[in-house]
Amino acid sequence: MAKALKDISWEAEEYIVRDHNTLWYIGLFVAGAALGVLAIFFQAITFLILVILSVVTILISSLRPPRKIKYSLNKDGLTEGGKLHKYDEFKAFGILKEGSNYSAVLIPKKRFGLSVKVYFPEGSGEVIVDNLGARLPMEDVKLDVLDQVVNFLRI
């Protein structure tokens, strides 16, 4: 007999806040300036514009505090800030631990589909994993190369 699962709701920040000290900001501007000089040397104006926009975007995103998002799991799927992700869109899920933060990663069925990464408080982890595990198989997941670069650069 199947175990009756409870609906669960929680709030979590949309991403992990990383500390940025003065050296990090100096490094960002030095790297941007070096790439800018290189773009000017090779007369690559579009690359120069891309460098400037990238530095500004990284700066703005590093200063913006993360939003609190409401999540819920029920029989229909995962609701993330009002958007429903149905279970049949995903082939499996996995759990990641990044430092002291836990997240569930829903792996899409479509080859080029986007995975959904949801942070949750450690105390709710067992109920969340039970709910997801009742509907999707669990797989080992690891940070992909892009996530590893983002973690390394503390973006």
**Mean pLDDT of each 10-residue bin along the chain, 155 residues long:** 72 88 95 97 97 96 92 94 94 92 94 91 91 94 85 81
Angle at 92 between CA 107 and CA 69, to 5 degrees: 55
Beta bridge pairs of residue 70 = 11
pTM for the model: 0.79
pLDDT value of residue 4? 58
> CA–CA separation, 15 vs 35, rounded Å?
28
